[in-house]
């Protein structure tokens, strides 16, 4: 049957699309801007008609009515990484989460450890060959498509048709709904003097011709702003945002010197402004790939001089990073942090930077601590961590002894807390 006829046959309203759900289903929703608002709104409205539905997603951004402690027996969010909308349900305990390395979620799906029954995803309009592009959240969605009983796409004309391994054919799709609202947008964060100082420290250690992975959060973007005067940078990253687009426009990124996929930028999900989404549309320089490709440390490390920049919340004197919880209170998730720290460690000439302001909560709490707060979820281990950067400088930890690490870490803590940290280090026999 011609593809346009298949399209017409499969087109339903978002309310009608709920007929493809069964009690107990796991619905896989892509990362961030790839979440389909019409479908999730319709599910929210009809949630009391179902029992035991779980929504598994990284970085839920919009606060749909299904985020409701009164109706969790009907529909519950099970985060793969908490975002702004899902954080509260994780912290209050009526949501749940599945620990993971982002790169391994597709493998967990293939092996049946996560079992997608249904995929709900944003998609570009269909092309002349019958393909849709899942450019906003390619990530684990491609693996879920191969396993799901039902695939429901929300087709929106503002979703870019990107190149790469991010397409699905109409013949594979169960149902389609259409929407035309703007794609979720986020702006670049405000950069203060602390972020700027961290950005400068990192930029000083990045040579022309390096390949970059830029993590999620305010400071990685601040680093990007310090790199606009560099030359021939390349991009092999997880999230493509406006920061990377700014680097490209400044002429700093050419991708020419990349030793893996030269000439191409690689990413797995997109989150930024409408300019970013327009930039992604049929751009021959960009490829969107599943996360088991972009974040696999062995693949990413084929980029020589891979520089990875990721944020954390708290670091101890050995360099253990608690990037995803504050004590036992979940905040975000592991995401691709460990994937890219390990990739940089393996890359010839690679460097992994873990970045954080020295203090939190209006300069009342040191983020460099003798031991992590009780219950903290350790993200990057002492065995993987290398450069840790605050506004006061750079600690280089890989290959260093426990005692050397304590000295390096104290040197980048806020001057007001250094003597306290020294005292604690002595008690821990680290000095
Ligand atoms: N004690 C108490 N509160 C703390 C704290 C600490 N040690 N460290 C941070 N906080 C508070 C901050 O004050 C801030 O609160 P506020 O919003 O009320 O000011 C909040 O926690 C977030 O801290 P911040 O440094 O602003 O985080 P961020 O927005 O830059 O995000 C994360 C950092 C969450 C993205 C990062 O830690 C993370 O999740 N990393 C793992 C994932 C990753 O790196 N992925 C990379 C591939 S994309």
**In whole angstroms, what is the distance from residue 222 CA to residue 355 CA?**
10
69, pLDDT greater than 90: yes
Percent of the chain with pLDDT over 70: 100
Does 324 sit in the ligand 1 pocket, CB within 6 Å?
yes
Q: What is the pLDDT of residue 307?
A: 98
Q: What is the pLDDT of residue 25?
A: 98
Does 30 sit in the ligand 1 pocket, CB within 6 Å?
no
The CA 14 to ligand 1 mean position distance, Å, reads 35
Q: What is the pLDDT of residue 66?
A: 98
- Average pLDDT for 239-243: 95
Please confirm, yes or no, whether 238 is among the known catalytic residues. yes
Q: What is the pLDDT of residue 190?
A: 84
The tens digit of pLDDT for each residue in 191-224 reads 899 999 999 999 999 999 999 999 988 888 889 9
77, pLDDT greater than 90: yes
Angle, CA 214 vertex, CA 211 and CA 217 arms, to 5° = 170
The count of other CB atoms within 10 Å of the CB of residue 345 is 19
**In whole angstroms, what is the distance from residue 96 CA to residue 81 CA?**
10
Global pTM reads: 0.97
Q: What is the pLDDT of residue 222?
A: 87
The tens digit of pLDDT for each residue in 267-285 reads 999 999 999 999 999 999 9
SS3 content of the chain, % helix, strand, coil (to 5): 30, 25, 45
The CA 313 to ligand 1 mean position distance, Å, reads 5
Does 323 sit in the ligand 1 pocket, CB within 6 Å?
yes
The CA 353 to ligand 1 mean position distance, Å, reads 15
Pair type for strands 75-81 and 321-322: unpaired
Does 215 sit in the ligand 1 pocket, CB within 6 Å?
yes
Q: Which residues contact 90 (CB under 8 A, 6 or more apart)?
A: 79, 82, 96, 97, 330
Does 218 sit in the ligand 1 pocket, CB within 6 Å?
yes
Does 322 sit in the ligand 1 pocket, CB within 6 Å?
no
User: Which residue in 104, 154, 238, 408 is the catalytic one?
Assistant: 238
Bridge partner residues of 250 (DSSP): none
Q: What is the pLDDT of residue 189?
A: 82
Average pLDDT, the chain: 97
Buried/exposed code over 216-242 (b: 16+ C-beta within 10 A; e: otherwise): bbbbbbbbbbbbeebebbbbbbbbbbb
The tens digit of pLDDT for each residue in 360-389 reads 999 999 999 999 999 999 999 999 999 999
**In whole angstroms, what is the distance from residue 267 CA to residue 286 CA?**
8
- Average pLDDT for 42-57: 98
Assign 312 a pLDDT band (cuts: 50, 70, 90): very high
336, pLDDT greater than 90: yes
The count of other CB atoms within 10 Å of the CB of residue 207 is 14
The CA 355 to ligand 1 mean position distance, Å, reads 10
**In whole angstroms, what is the distance from residue 271 CA to residue 248 CA?**
16
The atom number, within ligand 1, closest to the CA of 218 reads: 30
The tens digit of pLDDT for each residue in 401-429 reads 999 999 999 999 999 999 999 999 999 99
């Amino acid at each position: 049957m011609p593809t346009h006829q298949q399209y017409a046959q499969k087109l339903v309203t978002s309310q009608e699309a709920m007929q493809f759900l069964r009690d107990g289903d796991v619905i896989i929703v892509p990362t961030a801007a790839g979440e389909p608002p019409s479908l999730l709104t319709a599910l929210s409205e009809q949630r009391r008609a179902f029992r035991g539905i779980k929504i598994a997603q990284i970085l839920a951004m919009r606060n749909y009515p299904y985020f409701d402690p009164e109706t969790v027996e009907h529909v519950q969010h099970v985060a793969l990484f908490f975002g702004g909308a899902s954080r509260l349900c994780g912290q209050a305990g009526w949501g749940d989460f599945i620990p993971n390395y982002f790169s391994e979620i597709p493998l967990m799906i293939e092996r049946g450890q996560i079992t997608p029954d249904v995929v709900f995803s944003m998609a570009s309009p269909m092309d002349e060959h019958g393909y849709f592009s899942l450019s906003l959240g390619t990530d684990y969605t491609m693996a879920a498509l191969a396993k799901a009983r039902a695939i429901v796409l929300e087709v929106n004309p503002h979703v870019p048709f990107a190149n790469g391994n991010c397409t699905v054919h109409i013949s594979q799709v169960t149902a389609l709904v259409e929407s035309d609202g703007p794609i979720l947008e986020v702006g670049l964060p405000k950069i203060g003097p602390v972020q700027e100082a961290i950005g400068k420290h990192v930029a000083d250690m990045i040579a022309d011709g390096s390949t970059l992975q830029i993590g999620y959060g305010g400071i990685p973007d601040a680093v990007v702003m310090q790199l606009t005067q560099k030359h021939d940078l390349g991009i092999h990253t997880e999230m493509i945002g406006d920061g990377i687009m700014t680097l490209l426009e400044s002429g700093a990124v050419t991708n020419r010197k990349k030793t893996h996929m030269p000439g191409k930028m690689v990413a797995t999900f997109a989150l930024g402004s409408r300019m970013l989404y327009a930039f992604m549309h049929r751009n021959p320089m960009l490829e969107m790939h599943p996360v088991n490709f972009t974040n696999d440390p062995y693949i990413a490390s084929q980029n020589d001089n891979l520089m990875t920049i990721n944020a954390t919340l708290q670091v101890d004197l050995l360099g253990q990073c608690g990037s995803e919880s504050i004590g036992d209170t979940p905040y975000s998730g592991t995401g691709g942090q460990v994937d890219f720290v390990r990739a940089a460690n393996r890359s010839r000439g690679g460097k992994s930077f873990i970045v954080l302001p020295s203090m939190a909560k209006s300069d009342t709490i040191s983020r460099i601590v003798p031991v992590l707060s009780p219950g903290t979820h350790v993200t990057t281990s002492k065995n993987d961590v290398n450069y840790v950067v605050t506004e006061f400088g750079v600690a280089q930890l890989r290959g260093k002894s426990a005692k050397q690490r304590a000295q390096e870490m104290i040197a980048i803590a806020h001057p007001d807390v250094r003597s306290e940290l020294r005292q604690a280090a002595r008690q821990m026999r680290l000095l």
